[in-house]
Amino acid sequence: MDGKQYCRRKPGEEFLQRNVRQVVKHGGGHIMVWGCISWNRPGRLHWVEGNMNAVQYTSILSESFLRSLDDKKTRPQNVIFQQDNDPKHTSKLARKWFTDNHIVVLGWPPNSPDQNIIEHVWDYVDRKIRQRKILPRNLKELWAALQEE
């Protein structure tokens, strides 16, 4: 299923309880998360506080990415890391972090369409959350749902 819901009804039945589903709109909240995937399973998920900059990005890499590698018993030297050309990803600080941790970063063409495979993962997770019988009602529930999915 695509997460969309359809309802067949007769004229005049559109507002009957069985044909209406409550949803949270504008104000239900949102969170920014960082995540990673590998060929065999997802890595750790990290709740991003505020707007991410290069300092926060490298901190997340140290905390969540390196721990994801530990979880998979993978050495950083055996990884080719893929990311887009966002300024925080290509900053001097981030480049130094990857060099210091012996991680090869896959080159990414400038001005390319967003072809990063993790975009498919985010779309999948979004659809799975929208398919839930009970939608998250606050940020804590949304975070829990994201971690489950």
Ordered DSSP codes for 24-50: --SSS---EEEEEE-SSSEEEEEEEPS
Please say if the pLDDT value at position 33 is more than 50.
yes
pTM: 0.76
Residue 4 lies in a domain: no
Give the HSE-up count for residue 71: Cα atoms under 13 Å, Cβ half-sphere: 15
Q: Which residues contact 32 (CB under 8 A, 6 or more apart)?
A: 47, 48, 52
Residue 88 lies in a domain: yes
Task: Give dist(CA 1, CA 141) in Å, integer.
Answer: 23
Residue 81 lies in a domain: yes
Residue 10 lies in a domain: no
Residue 93 lies in a domain: yes
* Domain, as residue range, for 85: 17-148
pLDDT tens for each residue of 68-125: 999 999 999 999 999 988 999 999 999 999 999 999 999 888 776 667 788 888 889 9
Calculate mean pLDDT across residues 22-47: 80
Q: Which two tokens stand for residue 107?
A: 């080159």
How many domains does the structure of the chain reveal? 1
